[in-house]
């Protein structure tokens, strides 16, 4: 009946983290700020995508976003342009989990290990991203991968070639006095930010011939090139950003809108996450794969915040790169067709509200007077969760309890078509299996104690309540499911729930969800 009791191994392998990587949610980063998963994903035809830049030049290799508020951040200046594209076909991309678009130590390690094979490319600031997109896209081209999905305050794509798979819907002169980041160099400040907009505004681009008029083919960072970096470096300190200048004909004030990107990102906090991205769980390559023994050993002495894919050995890095290459080259829809996202969600649904309620019962004040009643209340909740696995014969025998534990742990996985699994699906299978075994081990162990607790003395009940409290606290801390990342109490209608990512957007590393006023204009 004691299933998977090696808690040290459970802590080292972190199977439960693998399960949280199979959908695309903003709040998932709280599991690991520095991502540990690489997965192939698609975007369906007809999906709208947005690109903003401080000029009207058509993008070639650059960043693109899922929400216009995100791209608008970069469409500053009198020549600022917001491009809207639609996916002309199903687009195949690679998704990096974690805060993979935040340019701070650790979060880009999975990308650099894939693109460069090592971490020697420790770029500073925003501009090292150009090398990352160029080398990444050179790798992706051989597999028909069109870009890389990453997360910061909202999801973004490093898109390899805007002429491949995208159709231009509009190229609109943008009503925005200036953007937020990146700050254009002074050469563009003078031409774009301080210059006056032509009477009537910038003319719309001709959608039929814009792509054919691209004079430049190098990668840009939201419209800025390497030469712009040189201008920035040479002209420090830069002049202050001038006041926001509304376009001719505008009435009243022109408020800043850059902070709205933070709120649109929060739309994707909860399940099912960013629905426009469809990850293929059968292709999930995880740095928590126990076969990557160098990382298993490294994690034994680290806290969760210190976990880093960059701690992998050269042999394990080579193994991951080979796995991702195989996944990228694989024919679409290869594998068992098991709905891994649905399976993980069903399991989560069964326990996501029951576990916190059980924990609340166990943390309420208890004394000799109410101990028996409190133990009976906990016993009832154990029955609620375990009764689907209770046989109607041999009740109360050791074999009966063992059957409950086994049925609970194996009910969702014993029938799966393992012979059709990809390599990555075997990892997912074992992840689900380990999570279920640990949940069911704790539940069934408590049920053994609680089965006849109503016949015991209040003193025994108090001792068992203490024991159960410790065991369920440990289980909940170990699971740490994203569904529990919520603002409590719920936010009012004039607020939204925001989970700070910390660096580089805020100095504090406090990731506690909090209600933020709708009118808050801080980034």
pLDDT on residue 212: 42
Nearest-angstrom CA–CA distance, 208 and 319: 45
Q: What is the mean pLDDT of the chain?
A: 82
The C-alpha atoms of residue 137 and residue 146 are separated, in whole angstroms, by 8
Contacts of 190 (CB under 8 A, 6+ apart): none
Burial 268-299 (b: 16+ CB within 10 A, else e): bbebebbebbbbbbbbbbbbbbbebeebbebb
Residue 508 pLDDT:
59
Report the pLDDT value the prediction gives residue 263, as an integer from 0 to 100: 81
For 274-330, write each residue's pLDDT tens digit: 889 999 999 999 988 889 999 888 888 877 777 888 889 999 999 999 999 999 999
**Domain map of the chain by residue range?**
1-182+214-334, 337-484
pLDDT over threshold 50, residue 201: no
With contact defined as beta carbons under 8 Å apart, do 416 and 429 qualify? yes
Distance CA 156, CA 277 (A): 11
Tens digit of each residue's pLDDT (9 = 90 or more) over 379-432? 999 999 999 999 999 999 999 999 999 999 999 999 999 999 999 999 999 999
Measured distance CA(139)–CA(136) in Å, rounded: 5
Tokens of 62: 């650059």
pLDDT of residue 268: 78
Q: Is the pLDDT of residue 131 over 80?
A: yes
> What are the tokens at 271?
């399940």
Residue 85 has pLDDT above 80, yes or no: yes
- Band of residue 21 on the pLDDT scale cut at 50, 70, 90: low
Q: Are 124 and 325 in contact (CB under 8 A)?
A: no
Q: 452-510: per-residue pLDDT in tens?
A: 999 999 999 999 999 999 999 999 998 988 888 889 999 999 998 988 776 655 655 67
| Whether the predicted model's global pTM rises above the 0.75 cut | yes
Averaged pLDDT for residues 190-208 = 39
Mean predicted confidence (pLDDT) in 156-174: 96
Classify 337 in phi/psi space as left (phi over 0), alpha (psi -120 to 50) or beta: left
The 3-state secondary structure of 338-387, one letter per residue: CCHHHHHHHHHHHHHCHHHHHHHHHHCCCCCCCHHHHHHHHHHHHHHHHH
Predicted confidence at residue 7, as pLDDT, reads 37
CA separation for the pair 313, 418 (Å, rounded)? 30
Cα separations in angstroms, 137 against 50, 62, 326: 19, 11, 17
CA distance 521 to 523: 7
- What pLDDT does residue 375 have? 97
Contact indicator for 79, 100 with CB cutoff of 8 Å: no
* DSSP-assigned letters across all residues of 111-154: HHHHHTSSS-----TTTTHHHHHHHHHHHHHTTT--EEEEESSS
Percentage of residues of the chain with pLDDT beyond 70: 79
Please give the Cα distance from 341 to 425 (Å, whole number).
12
- The mean-pLDDT minimum among 9-23, 43-57, 68-82 falls in 9-23
When pLDDT is averaged across residues 360-371 and rounded to a whole number, the result is: 95
Q: How far apart are CA 122 and CA 108, in angstroms?
A: 9
Nearest to 290 by CA among 32, 12, 38: 12
pLDDT range class, residue 118, cuts 50, 70, 90: confident
99 pLDDT band, cuts 50/70/90, is confident
Is pLDDT of 147 > 80?
yes
Contact 379, 450 (CB under 8 A): yes
The listed range with the strongest mean pLDDT (92-106, 208-222, 450-464, 471-485) is: 450-464
For residue 81, list its beta bridge partners.
53, 173
CA atoms lying within 13 Å on the CB side of residue 368: 2
* Distance of alpha carbon 188 from alpha carbon 478, whole angstroms: 50
Residue 452: phi and psi, rounded to 5, are -120, 25
CA distance 68 to 54: 15
Cα separation, 96 vs 210, whole angstroms: 31
Helix (H, G, I), strand (E, B) or coil at 67: coil
pLDDT at 106: 75
Taking alpha carbons only, the member of 386, 317, 379 closest to residue 114 is: 317
- How many Å apart are CA 32 and CA 109, to the nearest integer? 13
Rounding to the nearest 10 degrees, give the CA dihedral for residues 304, 309, 315, 316: 70
pLDDT of residue 123: 55
Mean pLDDT lowest for which of 56-60, 123-127, 156-160, 517-521?
123-127
Whether the per-residue pLDDT at 48 is higher than 80: the answer is yes
Q: What is the C-alpha to C-alpha distance for residues 115 and 112, in angstroms, rounded to an integer?
A: 5
Residue 151 contacts residue 99 (beta carbons within 8 Å): yes
| Ranges 17-26, 111-120, 237-246, 432-441, most confident | 432-441
CA distance 162 to 211: 9
């Amino acid at each position: 009946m004691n299933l998977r009791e090696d808690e040290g191994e459970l802590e080292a392998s972190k199977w439960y983290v693998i399960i949280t990587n199979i959908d695309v949610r903003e709040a998932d980063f709280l599991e690991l700020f520095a991502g540990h998963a690489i997965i192939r994903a698609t975007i369906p035809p007809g999906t709208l995508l947005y690109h903003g830049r401080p000029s009207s030049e058509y993008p070639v290799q650059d960043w693109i976003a899922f929400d216009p508020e995100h791209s608008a951040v970069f469409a500053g200046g009198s020549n600022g342009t917001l491009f809207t594209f639609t996916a002309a076909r199903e687009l195949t991309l690679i998704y990096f989990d974690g805060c993979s678009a935040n340019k701070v130590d650790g979060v880009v390690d999975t990308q650099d290990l894939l693109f460069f094979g090592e971490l020697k490319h420790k770029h500073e600031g925003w501009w090292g991203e150009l090398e990352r997109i160029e080398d990444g896209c050179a790798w992706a081209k051989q597999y028909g991968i069109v870009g890389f999905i990453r997360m910061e305050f909202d999801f973004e794509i490093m898109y390899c070639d805007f002429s491949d798979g995208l159709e231009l819907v509009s190229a609109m002169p943008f009503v925005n006095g200036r953007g937020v980041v990146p700050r254009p160099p002074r050469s563009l400040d003078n031409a774009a930010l301080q210059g006056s907009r032509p009477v009537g505004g910038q003319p719309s681009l001709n959608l039929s011939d814009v792509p054919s008029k691209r004079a430049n083919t190098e990668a840009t960072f939201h419209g800025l090139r390497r030469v712009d970096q040189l201008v920035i470096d040479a002209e420090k300190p830069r002049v202050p950003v001038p006041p926001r200048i509304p376009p001719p004909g505008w009435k009243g004030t022109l408020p800043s809108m850059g902070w709205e990107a933070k709120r649109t990102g929060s739309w994707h906090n909860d399940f099912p996450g960013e629905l426009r991205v469809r990850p293929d769980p059968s292709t999930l390559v995880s740095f928590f794969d126990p076969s990557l023994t160098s990382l298993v050993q490294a994690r034994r002495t680290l806290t969760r915040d210190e976990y880093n894919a960059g701690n992998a050995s050269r042999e394990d890095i080579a193994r991951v790169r080979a796995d991702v290459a195989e996944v990228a080259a694989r024919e679409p829809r290869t594998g068992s067709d098991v709905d891994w996202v649905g399976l993980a969600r069903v399991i989560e649904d069964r326990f996501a509200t029951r576990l916190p309620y059980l924990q609340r019962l166990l943390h309420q004040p208890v004394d000799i007077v109410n101990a028996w009643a409190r133990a009976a209340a906990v016993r009832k909740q154990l029955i609620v969760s375990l009764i689907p696995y209770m046989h109607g014969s041999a009740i109360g025998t050791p074999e009966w309890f063992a059957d409950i534990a086994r049925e609970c742990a194996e009910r969702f996985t014993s029938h799966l078509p393992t012979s059709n699994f990809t390599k990555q699906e075997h990892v997912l299978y074992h992840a689900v299996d380990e999570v279920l075994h640990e949940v069911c081990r704790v539940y069934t162990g408590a049920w053994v104690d609680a089965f006849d607790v109503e016949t015991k003395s209040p003193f025994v009940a108090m001792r068992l309540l203490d024991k159960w409290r410790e065991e369920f606290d440990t289980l909940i801390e170990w699971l740490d499911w994203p569904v529990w990342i919520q603002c409590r109490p719920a936010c009012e209608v004039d607020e939204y729930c925001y989970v700070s990512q910390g660096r580089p957007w805020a100095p504090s590393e406090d990731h506690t969800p909090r209600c933020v006023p709708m009118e808050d204009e801080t980034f």
